[in-house]
A and B are shown apart, each in its own frame.
Chain A
Amino acid sequence: MTTNDVGRFAWRALEGYRTRTLLMILATSIGVAAIVVLTSLGEGARRYVRNEFESLGTNLIIIFPGRAETFGTGASLASGRTARDLTLEDAIALQRIRGVEHVAPLNFVEGEVSAKGRRRDVPVAGSTNEVQYIWGLSVASGRFLPPQDPRNATPHCVLGSKVRRELFGADSPLGQYVRLGDRRFRVIGVLAQKGEFVGINMDDIVFIPVASAQALFNLSSLLRIGVMTRSREDVPRVREEIKRLIGGRHGGEQDITVITEDAVSSAFDKVFVALTFALGGIAAISMAVAGILIMNVMLIAVAQRTSEIGLLKALGASPRQIRFLFFAEAALLSAVGGVVGSIIGQLGSFVIRQIYPSVPAFAPIWAVAGALLLAVATGIAFSVLPARRAARLDPAIALARR
């Protein structure tokens, strides 16, 4: 029997029992669609998070004080030494490293700001001119903190759009003064509306020079330092040089944590790939259910077609051919179900993309291909028993029955 003939015979059998065929296609397609939709959700979440990280800038390095220990007890604990603070001088020293484009020291303190008799509790960021490049800030009116020696504690500030609105209403705040703690700061600019970014609401914030913030809140250390390299390729080398340089300044202690966008996003990436696999696996369980249904229906088909199987044997079909015919039928059925299911699944992820435009819910290729393969494999695996039963039918008995 040629492959073509096997396929055609199986196809005619499927056509001959419409309801049965449609039900089995439905069962298989639900399984495949579930895999496609769920993995597209997982993949969408992965890409969403990845995009968020990439919007931070791929050539960004962030330095925290203290060592994030990833193995054993802390070296600093063992040696009895505590981590040193990051200082403004550390940040200034970083500017000398080749490939470094921007350095932004950062302090972040909750403060009370008042103007014209109105008071607000607002997060106050102490930084330099260069933070605008690292966080991608733009100014709606006036200008940002001017480039200057970070050690200069000049009394001017830049307001987030919400702070401006709440303190000054419709009036222009430029040139006006606000009070922060016991000092007065002249407003030199207002940020354009940006919303939340890196977990900070950029509309509800006040920027002042880092030295001013340290003086105002009586700080000697920095919360962190952001570094932007000239290009992505510079990141690994600059990262190592930062460690060496700060280490040297801190008496040979590796007491800082340096993270890059790459490292963080690839860690998240792994988490989300695992999540996608898990979702796909859960969906694959529905395939097992479909498989059992297929087996059931194929067993019924064998019983229904007893005399036909007997006839095929009388016409000279070998047991192998009979088995093969049933396998072909199951494979064809589950392949059609798989294709239908992946179309339904793609439609499902399309709907998800319409509802949540920020989540790029595209099922990964491996999941679509895997679901199709799984569908066909399930169809064949669960038809082994029915096919064997058919092949073993005694033709004399099968034909005697009507």
Chain B
Amino acid sequence: MITLTGIHRVFEVGDEEVHALRDVSLHIDRGEYVSIMGPSGSGKSTLLNIVGLLDRPTSGTYELDGQDVTALTDEQQSQVRREKIGFVFQFFHLVPRLTAAENVELPLVLAGAPSDERRPKVARLLSEFGIAKRARHRPDQLSGGERQRVAIARAMVMEPAAILADEPTGNLDQHTGQEVIHLLEELNAKGMTLILITHDAALGGRARRHIRTLDGRVEA
């Protein structure tokens, strides 16, 4: 489903060129549970950004569901990102002034879905993730675990092809982190492609397939 071929990503820092990714080729199938691990600066965040269409490779091609997405315009990429990729971040990135339900609803709003279509979807996800009672609370009234559940519900609401989770437990205590990982794994068990970025070996080890990044290269 995700096919990267010969991806390079070069940043220019001052006069210097920094090769964040060097000739990365990678294939991830639908329904896989993949962890991407590596020390900081090894290129794992850059890889995540490129897979999540938040960044464009300097060279190489990226096919998502058989479509070459590197050639798309910004507007078209936005649409692909909206429909096919769900993000879960370390710092949750909830909009502070919106309620939990409104945060979950946000991708549907951006997609222009009518509100009578949005409401049942949001309600179903919130109850599925055990946060229905917190629907009207704002992020600052929620615990860390609840916030991450809201974020996962938001990532799921568009029924994406893959979830990219970037250190999803990095800001949670051990116990809550476990719950969140179980939740993500449950989703994977139902067929969702799950890509987990972490530097925590124990966490990364749970995945069925491990990808290591080092110095801009990928070892599958």
Contact = CB atoms under 8 A, between A and B. Distances in A.
Interface string A374-402: 00000000000000000000111001101
A159 B74 CA distance: 90
Contact of A16 (B49, B96, B110, B111): B96
A316 B159 CA distance: 13
Q: How big is chain B's contact interface, by range?
A: 20 to 34
Nearest to A311: B93
Interface of A: 1-2, 4-5, 9, 12-13, 15-16, 307-308, 310-321, 394-396, 399-400, 402
User: Which 7 A-B pairs give the minimum distances between C-beta atoms?
Assistant: A316-B82, A16-B97, A318-B78, A396-B49, A311-B93, A396-B54, A395-B54
Contacts of A321: 78, 110
Given A5-B115, A313-B54, A399-B54, 11 more contacts: A1-B109, A1-B110, A16-B96, A307-B91, A312-B110, A314-B87, A316-B79, A317-B110, A319-B74, A321-B110, A396-B49
B97 A318 contact: no
Interface of B: 45, 49, 52, 54-55, 74-75, 78-79, 81-83, 87, 89, 91, 93, 95-98, 102, 106-107, 109-112, 114-115, 154, 158
A2 B87 contact: no
A317 B81 CA distance: 9
Given A319-B75, A396-B55, A311 B95 contact: yes
A399 B97 CA distance: 18
B93 A316 contact: no
A318 B93 contact: no
A318 B79 contact: yes
Given A1-B109, A12-B98, A307-B93, A400 B45 contact: yes
A311 B194 CA distance: 19
Nearest to A12: B97
Given A315-B87, A396-B49, A5 B109 contact: yes
Query: From DSSP, what is the main secondary structure of chain A's interface residues?
Result: helix
Nearest to B106: A315
Contacts of A396: 45, 49, 54-55
A314 B29 CA distance: 22
Contacts of A312: 106, 110
Contact of B97 (A13, A314, A320): A13
Contacts, number: 75
Given A12-B97, A12-B98, A318 B74 contact: yes
A310 B158 CA distance: 18
A131 B11 CA distance: 95
Nearest to A17: B97
18 contacts: A1-B111, A1-B112, A2-B112, A9-B109, A12-B97, A12-B102, A15-B97, A312-B110, A313-B81, A314-B54, A315-B110, A316-B82, A318-B75, A318-B79, A319-B78, A321-B78, A395-B54, A399-B89
Given A2-B112, A320-B75, A315 B154 contact: yes
B110 A316 contact: yes
A316 B78 contact: yes
A320 B78 CA distance: 10
A4 B89 CA distance: 29
A315 B107 contact: yes
Given A395-B54, A399-B54, A313 B78 contact: yes
A36 B84 CA distance: 52
B93 A399 contact: yes
A6 to B, nearest CB: 9
A345 B72 CA distance: 51
A241 B81 CA distance: 84
B182 to A, nearest CB: 24
A316 B81 contact: yes
Nearest to B105: A5
Contacts of B95: 308, 311
Nearest to A401: B91
Contacts of A400: 45
For A1, A4, A320, which residue has the most chain B Cβ atoms within 10 angstroms? Answer: A1
A4 B105 CA distance: 14
Contact of A316 (B89, B96, B107, B115): B107
A163 B106 CA distance: 85
Contacts of A311: 93, 95
B65 to A, nearest CB: 15
Nearest to B151: A311
Nearest to A308: B95
Contacts of B79: 316, 318
Contacts of A318: 74-75, 78-79
